Amino acid sequence: MSAHDWYVENRSAFVSRSLERDEERTFIEHLMRCDECAREVARLEGDLAWLPMGVAPVAPKPGFARRIAGEILDRPRGWRRRLPALAAAAAVLLALGLGFHNGRERRELSRLLATRESRLTALEDTLSVLRQARQVVQTNVSMPGGGGGGAHQGGLLIFQDGSSHRWTVIVHGLPPAPDGNVYQFWFITRTGMVRSVEVNADSARPAFMTVPMPSPAIPVMGAALTMESMVNRSGEPAGVELAHVMF
Amino acid sequence: MRSRALDKDAGSAPQGRAGRPALALKEESSLRRRLRARDEQALVELIDAASPWLLGLTQGMLRDPDEAEEVVLEVFQVAWERVGSLGDEDEALLPWLFRIARNRAIDRLRRRSRLRLKHARAGAFGAIAPADAGATGFDESARPGWHVHESVHAALAALPDEQRQAVQLAYFQGLTHAEIARQLGIPMGTVKTRLRLAFDKLRVALAPIKDWVL
C-alpha cells in the first residue's frame, strides 16, 4: 500500500471528519499539493451536500432572525455612541409605541424600529469605510451607445479601507443595464481579474456598495467595471470595459 | 414535534418526490447578489430561510439549544463576512452554511472534556425531540425544503442498520473512527468499511437532489 493509498482510502473519513486530529491535519496538507484528492474530496462534499437535511428543522424562537441579524450588523458599537440622533429617534419611536394600546400597532412599530436600526447600523458600517479610507480613487465611466447615439458619462469612486479590508464603491450616472446584461465590478490582482459584485446602476441615483477585498495574500493592483452578459459567470471578463483604474 | 433525524422507524418518504424548493434558482441567485452587495434585508431573509434547518442540525449534534443557537449565530457571522468571496459557480448557499455549522459543532463537541457524555448523547441522537421548539404551531412539513429532508431521510433509512449507525456517529456526532470502534466494540477497519459503503450508497441515493438550491 503506497502512501497515497492511505489518502484515497480516507477521503470519505476526511469529509465526515472522523479522522483523528493529527490525521486530519496531515490530510489537509496533502490536499494542498494533490489535485486528484482535492478534486475527489470536493466531489464527495458536493454529492453529500444535502445530507445534513436528514435532520428535521427546529422552530426558531420568536424574533430569532431579527436578533441574529441585529447582532451581526451591530458590530461597530463605538459609532452608536457618537450618534445621539439614533438614540433620540429610538426614544421617540419607543415613546410613541408606548402610547399605542393596540398590540398590532405596537408590533408594527417594533418592526419599523428594528428595520431602521438595522439600516442605520449598515449606514454606520459603510460610513466607517469612508472615514477610514486610506486611498480614494476616482475615474470616469463611459458607456457607448446611449440614447440618441450619444455616450453616457458616469463616474466610479473607490474608497479603500485597508484596516477592515473592504472597499466602498460608488457608481453614478449610468443607466440601468440593458436586458440580459449586468454591470460587473472586478478587482485587478497580480494573479488576474477577480469577480466582485454586480452593480445595480440607476442614473437617477448612485449605486453604493461595500465589498470585501480578495484574500490579503493576493495584492490588488486596480479595478475595472465591465458590461457583461448575464450568462457569463466565468472568472474572466468577456464584455465591454467601461472603466479601468490602476493604483 | 417529532425528531425524524436518522430514525428509521419514522418511516420512509417517497424518494425524489417533486416538491417546492426553498428558493428557486433565480431567487437564490438574486439573494446571493444582494448579500454580496451587503443588503441587510437579504441577510434577514437568509436567516429566516436557513435557521430552522441549521438549528435542527446543531441541536441534534450538540443536544443543547443554547449552544446550538450560538453556533447558528457564528455561522451567519461567517457567512456575512465571507459571502463576498462566494462566486455564482460555487456551492448552493444552504449546503455551504451546513458545512460551516457542522464543522463548528464538531469543533465544540471535540472541545468538550466530558467525552463520556458526548458518547452517551450520541447514542440518543435521533430519538430525543429537540428541546424548546420555540414557537407553537410550527409545522415542519410546511418548511421550504421539506421535500429535500424527506429524500435524505429516505436515503438514510434505506441503509443497513450498522451502516446508518456509523454515519450517525461519524457525520452527525463527529466521533472519530477510533471513538466509534471503541463505542461499538468493533475493529477500526470495520468502521471504515461501513462508512465507505454507506457514503457510496448515499452518493447514489442523493444524486437526484444534488443540484437543488437553498
pLDDT surpasses 50 at A208? yes
Q: Do B98 and A17 touch (CB under 8 A)?
A: no
CA-CA-CA-CA dihedral for B169, B172, B173, B179, to nearest 10: 30
| Closest-CA distance of chain B to residue A219, Å | 15
Q: Do B47 and A65 touch (CB under 8 A)?
A: yes
Domain end point (choices A114, A131, A148): A131
| Whether A150 and A105 share a structural domain | no
The DSSP call for residue A202 is B
Q: Which of A12, A15, A18, A45 should we substitute to test contact with B (largest number of B Cβ atoms within 10 Å)?
A: A18
Domain end point (choices A131, A153, A179): A131
| Whether A105 and A156 share a structural domain | no
Q: Which of B169, B199, B211 should we substitute to test contact with A (largest number of A Cβ atoms within 10 Å)?
A: B199
| Whether A109 and A156 share a structural domain | no
pLDDT band at B195 (very low <50, low <70, confident <90, very high): very high
pLDDT band at B89 (very low <50, low <70, confident <90, very high): low
Residue A199: inside a domain: yes
Region B135-142: what's the mean pLDDT? Answer: 55
Q: Do A46 and B210 touch (CB under 8 A)?
A: yes
Residue A121: inside a domain: yes
Read off the C-alpha cell for A13: 473519513
Chain A / chain B CB contacts < 8 angstroms: 212
CATH T-level assignment (fold) for domain B19-209: Arc Repressor Mutant, subunit A (1.10.10)
Read off the C-alpha cell for B47: 436567516
pLDDT band at A7 (very low <50, low <70, confident <90, very high): very high
Number of domains, chain A: 3
Nearest chain B alpha carbon to A115: B41
d(CA A140, CA A87): 39
What pLDDT sits at residue B15?
32
| Whether A221 and A164 share a structural domain | yes
Contacts of B47 in chain A (CB under 8 A): 64-65, 68-69
pLDDT band at B17 (very low <50, low <70, confident <90, very high): very low
Residue A211: inside a domain: yes
Contacts of A124 in chain B (CB under 8 A): none
Residue A72: inside a domain: yes
The residue type of A1 is M
Question: What spatial distance separates the first Cα and last Cα of chain A, rounded to whole Å?
Answer: 53
Inter-axis angle of helices B161-171 and B177-184, to 10 degrees? 130
Contacts of A65 in chain B (CB under 8 A): 44, 47-48, 51
| Whether A159 and A119 share a structural domain | no
Q: Tell which B residues from 50 to 109 touch A, by Cβ distance under 8 Å.
A: 51-53, 55-57, 59-60, 69, 72-73, 76-77, 80-82, 84-85, 87-89, 91-92, 94-95, 98-99, 101-103, 106
What pLDDT sits at residue B138?
57
| Whether A92 and A172 share a structural domain | no
Asked whether the beta carbons of B7 and B127 are under 8 A apart, the reply is yes
What pLDDT sits at residue A101?
52
Quickly count: other Cβ atoms within 10 Å of residue B64's Cβ.
16
Residue A59: inside a domain: no
| Whether A149 and A194 share a structural domain | yes
| Whether A120 and A167 share a structural domain | no
| Whether A241 and A139 share a structural domain | yes
**The pTM is what?**
0.55
What pLDDT sits at residue B166?
92
Read off the C-alpha cell for A138: 476616482
| Whether A143 and A124 share a structural domain | no
Read off the C-alpha cell for B33: 447578489
Domain end point (choices A18, A34, A54): A54
Q: Which residues contact A33 (CB under 8 A, 6 or more apart)?
A: none
The H or E element that residue B212 is part of is none
Domain that residue A10 falls in: 3-54
pLDDT tens track for B57-69 = 999 898 888 999 9
| Whether A76 and A115 share a structural domain | yes
Quickly count: other Cβ atoms within 10 Å of residue B91's Cβ.
17
pLDDT surpasses 50 at B46? yes
pLDDT band at A30 (very low <50, low <70, confident <90, very high): very high
Contacts of A44 in chain B (CB under 8 A): 199, 203
Q: What residues does each domain of chain B span?
A: 19-209
Cβ of residue B145 closer than 8 Å to a chain A Cβ: yes
| Whether A213 and A150 share a structural domain | yes
Beta bridge partners of B182: none
